């Protein structure tokens, strides 16, 4: 009976897939997630913020949060996912979507948690609680962060108007272009133009898989200067060529 109760509240998995994936969870999910990125990288996008996740980082997704996830990897993407409803009745896991750096020593503790789906053993649960005891004090509570919110507004604007110039994006966000660049770089480690290229490549992925248009046509539709430049950017952002995308269905 106790094992059955545990299985309803926890789901520990090792998840693996190839090169690129987009998941749409805008309806939200009924559990919290603590996860550890083993291979690849990801971007998690909610209506309030976006989070970049790199290899070797932990990330936390609160339950009922509507979000979309974009996963990238040179070979494969792999991460550990620990889903849980609550740690205890008294605890309110009211934390924001976020990523955390993780030391090699702590990563070993995370990797030692058995991942067998809903068959969560007492040993796995004990190790998970020990990890959460160290992680919980580091998690940021859900609160306002004006710089992060402004960057999220810039990202949303770029996604909505991917063919606008950066000057036009800055104007729509009511900030100067130099400030937009420095703020974006500070908060994300990348540039607004790099982010726009990523958005265009996501659009390119979908066109490659849902139409029979030639690469040159798609390149023109996405306003790249040439099909060869489109291929170069696509390889950088997604880790695959147009031919590989169509052959293997990475979207």
Q: Are residues 153 and 112 in the same domain?
A: no
> How much is the pLDDT for 65?
86
User: Which CATH number do you get for residue 177?
Assistant: 1.10.10.60
pLDDT in tens, the chain (251 residues): 344 344 568 999 999 998 889 999 988 888 999 999 999 999 999 877 889 999 999 999 998 888 999 999 988 999 999 999 887 644 455 788 999 999 999 999 999 999 999 899 999 999 999 999 999 989 988 765 678 778 888 999 999 999 999 999 998 888 889 989 999 998 888 899 999 999 999 999 889 988 989 999 999 999 999 999 999 999 888 888 898 888 876 44
Q: Are residues 119 and 158 in the same domain?
A: no
Q: Are residues 99 and 189 in the same domain?
A: no
Q: Are residues 119 and 98 in the same domain?
A: yes
Residues of the domain holding 108: 2-138
Q: Are residues 132 and 157 in the same domain?
A: no
Q: Are residues 31 and 81 in the same domain?
A: yes
Domain count, the chain: 2
DSSP-derived 3-state class of residue 94: coil
User: Which CATH number do you get for residue 55?
Assistant: 2.60.120.280
Neighbours of 215 (CB within 10 A): 19
How buried is residue 4: exposed, middle or buried, by Cβ count under 10 Å (0-12/13-18/19+)? exposed
> How much is the pLDDT for 8?
64
Closest by CA to 169, choosing from 190, 148, 151, 145, is 151
Q: Are residues 125 and 16 in the same domain?
A: yes
Q: Are residues 95 and 219 in the same domain?
A: no
> How much is the pLDDT for 1?
32
């Amino acid at each position: 009976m106790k094992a059955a109760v545990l299985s309803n509240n926890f789901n520990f998995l090792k998840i693996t897939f190839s090169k690129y994936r987009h998941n749409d969870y805008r309806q939200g999910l009924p559990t919290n997630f603590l996860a550890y990125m083993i291979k690849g990288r990801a971007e998690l996008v909610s209506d309030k913020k976006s989070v970049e996740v790199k290899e070797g980082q932990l990330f936390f997704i609160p339950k009922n949060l509507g979000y979309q996830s974009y996963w990238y990897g040179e070979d494969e993407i792999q991460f550990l996912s620990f889903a849980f409803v609550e740690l205890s009745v008294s605890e309110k896991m009211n934390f924001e979507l976020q990523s955390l750096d993780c030391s090699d020593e702590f990563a070993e503790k995370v990797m030692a948690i058995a991942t067998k789906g809903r068959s969560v053993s007492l040993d796995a649960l004990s190790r998970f609680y020990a990890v959460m005891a160290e992680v919980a004090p580091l998690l940021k509570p859900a609160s306002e962060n004006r710089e992060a919110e402004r960057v999220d507004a810039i990202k949303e604007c770029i996604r909505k108007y991917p063919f606008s110039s950066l000057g036009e994006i800055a104007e729509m966000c009511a900030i100067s272009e130099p400030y937009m660049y420095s703020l974006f770089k500070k908060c994300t480690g990348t540039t607004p133009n790099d982010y726009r290229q990523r958005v265009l490549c996501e659009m390119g992925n979908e066109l490659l898989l849902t139409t029979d248009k030639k690469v040159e046509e798609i390149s023109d539709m996405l306003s790249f200067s040439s099909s060869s430049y489109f291929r170069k950017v696509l390889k950088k952002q997604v880790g695959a060529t147009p031919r590989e995308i169509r052959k293997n269905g990475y979207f």
